Amino acid sequence: MVIQENVSLIVMVAQFVEQNKDKCYKYFPNNHENMELANGFTIRCCTELNFNTYIVRTITIQNEIKQWTITHLQFTDWPDFGCPNGTEIMLEFCQLMREYAEKTSAPIVLHCSAGVGRTGTLIALDILLQAIHDNKDIDIFNTVLNLRRDRKNMVQTEKQYLYIHSCINDAIENPLPVSNGRTNMEP
């Protein structure tokens, strides 16, 4: 799918193992290692920058003909069915994600473990933060409702729904400074 759709950004809002349960298959190797696939493709994790609540990786996929470069953003401080502690870390991550997203016209792959709770919450936040940026009306209820029309159970819990409200309130009350070149920042 990543190659077929020419994806250059993958956003992961889960850990591979949470509370001793497998949550997500590790589809790339450790930093500076290769993963050989049976179909002639090689996946390599070229760089891995660890921040307090997220990791930024550069991953390459190649075959005999071509090489693709993918940025992999992993938010690591979000429990399943829960929410991150505080809004600032999530708003900063959303800003970072948006900066990478604006570098490409290709689809973005965004996933958690089930693909609805954390994924839906992050998509809703991105839509609403863009509405704030574009000086458009903010409608959290209908944003989530529209996501649920496309995929059942998007934004899985009341806590996640209220977290969206908290993030959007804080984004309006205390906007983050516009960053320049943050995507090149070191940890």
Asked, for residue 100, whether it belongs to a domain, the answer is: yes
The model's pLDDT over 22-55, given as tens digits with 9 standing for 90+, comes to 888 999 999 999 999 988 999 999 999 999 999 9
Report if residue 64 sits inside a domain.
yes
Q: Is residue 180 part of a domain?
A: no
Residue 94 annotated to the active site: no
| Residue 184 belongs to some domain of the structure | no
Distance from C-alpha of 60 to C-alpha of 48, rounded to nearest angstrom: 12
| Active-site residue, from 45, 83, 112, 167 | 112
The reply to whether 24 falls in a domain is yes
Check: CB of residue 31 under 8 Å from CB of residue 118: no
- The reported pTM is 0.90
d(CA 133, CA 116): 25
pLDDT, tens only, 137-162: 999 999 999 999 999 999 999 999 99
Q: What is the domain count for the chain?
A: 1
pLDDT of residue 135: 94
Within-domain flag for 37: yes
**Residue 3 falls within a domain, yes or no?**
no
Neighbours of 6 (CB within 10 A): 11
Q: How much is the average pLDDT of 60-74? A: 96
- Domain extent, residue 142, equals 9-175
Give the CATH number of the domain where residue 67 resides.
Answer: 3.90.190.10
Kindly state whether residue 181 falls inside one of the protein's structural domains: no
CA angle 26–32–38, rounded 5-degree value: 55
Dig out the tokens for 78 from the structure. Answer: 């979000």
